[in-house]
Structure 1
Amino acid sequence: MAACAGGPGSWSENILDYFLRNNQITTEDGAEIVWYHAANHKSQMREALRSAAHMIEADVLLPSDGSEHGQPIMAHPPETHSDNTLQEWLAEVIKSNKGIKLDFKSLAAVRASMLILENVKHLLQRPVWINADILPGPNGSSKVVDAKAFLDTVTSSFPDVTFSLGWTTGWHPEKVNEGYSWTMVKEMAYICRGLTQPVTFPVRAALVRQSCSQLLWLLKRSNRYSLTVWTGKDDNYSTEDLLYIRDYFNKTQVFYDILDPQNHEFKQAIGIRVPL
C-alpha cells in the first residue's frame, strides 16, 4: 500500500483507497486520479462538481479590503475578490463525493478557515488535503507560510488531515532551471519528521526530472509520503518527462495535477482513459 492513512471516511484516508472503495477508479495508481484545478469562482466550482474529477483543488484567501466581513474567499492571487466564500464553496462540495484540496497563501486565511471547516467536519467524510508552500524552492520568490505555525494551526483543529507541503518555485524559459536540491528535500524531511498524518509534496513538473534522486530519497523517509506533480500554465516540459517520472517512482505514490495537452498525451501513453 502507498500509505498508512486514516480509516474509511477520514480526512487522512489515502485517496487511492477512498476512490477504489467508491468504485471510481479500478487500480491503485496515482495517475488514475483526475484533478480539477482552481475551482474558485462559482462557475468553476459548478463545472468541477459536474466533471469527472475525483479531487477538487481551490485557493483560499482573506480579502485585502476587509469586505465579506473577513470571511475567507475562493481566489488565487493576484485576484483579491471572488463571488464565492469558503462557506458557500463547502456547502456545495459537501453534496458531492469528491475529495478536497484547499490551498493557502497566508496563516491568517488558515486560522479563519479552520473555524468554518469545524462546522462542516461531520459532513466531510472524505479525504481533505490542506496545502501551503512552507519552504523556498527552485527559483522561488513568493513568500512562504511559516511551517511550524501552519502545522500547529491545522493539527490543533484537525489532527486527522492530509498535509500538502510544498516549496515556492519559479520557472524561466530562457535559462537552465535547477531542480529540488538536497538541501531543500532534507529541510522538508526535518520539518515533517514528527508528523503522523499522510503528507504529499507538490512538485513542479518542469523541475522534477532533474530532481528524481532527491525526491525519491524524500519519499523513502516514510510510507505516508507521496508526490503531487503540478504545472504552471506556461511551463515547458514534455510527455517524456512525465513518463520518466512514472518509471522512476512507485505509481501508488505519485499524483498528476497537470494541464492539457500533456495530461491527455500522458494518460494515452500509459493506457488510462481520459474522461470527456
Structure 2
Amino acid sequence: MATAGGGPGFWNENIFEYFLKNNQIKSEDGAEIIWYHAANHKSQMKEAVKSSAHMIEADILLSCDESEHRQPIMAHPPEISSDNTLQEWLNEVLKTNKGIKLDFKSLEAVKPSMILLENVKMHLNRPVWINADILPGPNGKNVELDAKKFLDTVTSFFQHVTLSLGWTTGWYPNQLNEGYSWTMVKNMEYICNKLNQPVTFPVRAALVKQSYDQLLWLVQQSHRYSLTIWTGKDDIYPTEDLLFVREHFGKKQVFYDILESQNQEFKQTIGIEIEK
C-alpha cells in the first residue's frame, strides 16, 4: 500500500506519521485528512490557516508583468494576477503545522518556486506535495506541463518530495464522460516507475468509478503510489462512488480532496467524525 512519504532529508514527512505525531488524526486513513483547496488569495489563505484543514493546497503561476523579476504568484487560470505571492504565502503557512500542496499551472514558475522553497527548507519539516498535470486525460482541454522538464526541475532541488502527478481532465453535464483509459494509466506508470519518490495520482471524483480497473492496476504497481480524489466545483457524482473506492482500495491508498458538503456526507457514512 502507498504511504505517500518517507526518505531522508527535508519536506518529506510521511503524511500519516506527521499528523498522527501531532495528534491531528487517529489512524492511517486518508479519509481522516482534511484539505483546504485553492487557498490562493490572501483572504482564502488566511481562512485556510485558521481552518481545521490538515493540508493547504494552492496554485502557482508566474506573474505577468514585464519586468525581469517576475515572481511566482498564487492564482488559478483563467486568473493571471493575484494579491498574494508565493513568498508571502509561505511566510504565513509556515507559521502553522499544516501540510502543503503546491499545484503548478505553468512550467516557467517551477524553478523560481523551487528556489524560494529551498530558502525556507529548514521549516519544511512537514508533508509537502508538488503537483502538476503532466499527461492528457479524459475530456481534458488544457495543455499539460512537460513531464520530463517538470520532474527534472523539481528533483534537482529536492529528491525526496512527494510528487502529485495528474492528467488534464474535463467533466460535462448531461453527456457521457469518458474515464481514465488503459493508455492513460500505462503512460503514467511508464513515467513513474523510473522515480524513487512517493507519487500520488490526483483523479477526478466523477470519473473514478468507471475507471476502477485502470486505477486499481496503477496503484498496485508500487507501494509508493496512492490516489488523491478531487472534484470540480460543478461536478455531479453520487457519494456511493466514494464508498465504492473506499471498499476496493486500502485506506492508506486514497486521499479525498473534495467539496465540504460531499465530504460531510461521505464521512458521516463511513463513521469519521467531522471536525468543526
What is the alpha-carbon distance in structure 2 between the residues aligned to residue 197 and residue 10 of structure 1?
Answer: 13
What is the alpha-carbon distance in structure 2 between the residues aligned to residue 33 and residue 167 of structure 1?
Answer: 23
Q: Counterpart of 1:251 in 2: which secondary structure?
A: coil
Where does residue 243 of structure 2 map in the other structure? 243
Write out aligned runs for 1:1-276 (5 A).
Answer: 2-3=2-3, 5-6=5-6, 10-66=10-66, 69-276=69-276
Per-residue CA deviations over 1:120-162 (Å, capped at 9, x if unaligned) read 0111111110000000000011010000000000000111200
Q: What is the one-letter code of the residue matched to 2:55?
A: M
TM (norm. structure 2) is 0.97
What is the alpha-carbon distance in structure 2 between the residues aligned to residue 63 and residue 142 of structure 1?
Answer: 19
Mean alpha-carbon deviation: is it higher for 128-137 or for 56-65? 56-65
Is the contact made by 1:53 and 1:98 (CA closer than 8 Å) also made in structure 2?
yes
Give the direction of change, closer, same or farther, for the CA distance of 1:164–1:174 in structure 2 (3 Å limit). Answer: same
What is the alpha-carbon distance in structure 1 between the residues aligned to residue 59 and residue 127 of structure 2?
Answer: 17
**Structure 2 segments unaligned to the other structure (5+ residues):** none
Is the contact made by 2:4 and 2:199 (CA closer than 8 Å) also made in structure 1?
no
Percentage of matched positions with identical amino acids: 72
Is the contact made by 2:10 and 2:122 (CA closer than 8 Å) also made in structure 1?
no
Is the contact made by 1:33 and 1:53 (CA closer than 8 Å) also made in structure 2?
yes
Is the contact made by 1:10 and 1:127 (CA closer than 8 Å) also made in structure 2?
no
- Deviation of 1:9 (Å): 7.9
Q: Counterpart of 1:103 in 2: which secondary structure?
A: strand
**Structure 1 segments unaligned to the other structure (5+ residues):** none
Is the contact made by 1:73 and 1:84 (CA closer than 8 Å) also made in structure 2?
yes
TM (norm. structure 1) is 0.97
Give the count of matched residue pairs. Answer: 276
Per-residue CA deviations over 1:204-261 (Å, capped at 9, x if unaligned) read 0000000011001000111010000000000010111111111111111100000032
What is the alpha-carbon distance in structure 2 between the residues aligned to residue 7 and residue 214 of structure 1?
Answer: 28
Per-residue CA deviations over 1:164-200 (Å, capped at 9, x if unaligned) read 0000000011211111000000000000011101000
Is the contact made by 1:30 and 1:251 (CA closer than 8 Å) also made in structure 2?
yes
Q: What is the one-letter code of the residue matched to 1:149?
A: K
Q: Counterpart of 1:5 in 2: which secondary structure?
A: coil
Is the contact made by 1:59 and 1:104 (CA closer than 8 Å) also made in structure 2?
yes
Is the contact made by 2:12 and 2:127 (CA closer than 8 Å) also made in structure 1?
yes
What is the alpha-carbon distance in structure 2 between the residues aligned to residue 219 and residue 225 of structure 1?
Answer: 5
- Deviation of 1:12 (Å): 2.5
Q: What is the one-letter code of the residue matched to 1:110?
A: V
Q: What is the one-letter code of the residue matched to 2:69?
A: H
Q: What is the one-letter code of the residue matched to 1:204?
A: R
- Deviation of 1:7 (Å): 5.2
Q: What is the one-letter code of the residue matched to 1:90?
A: L
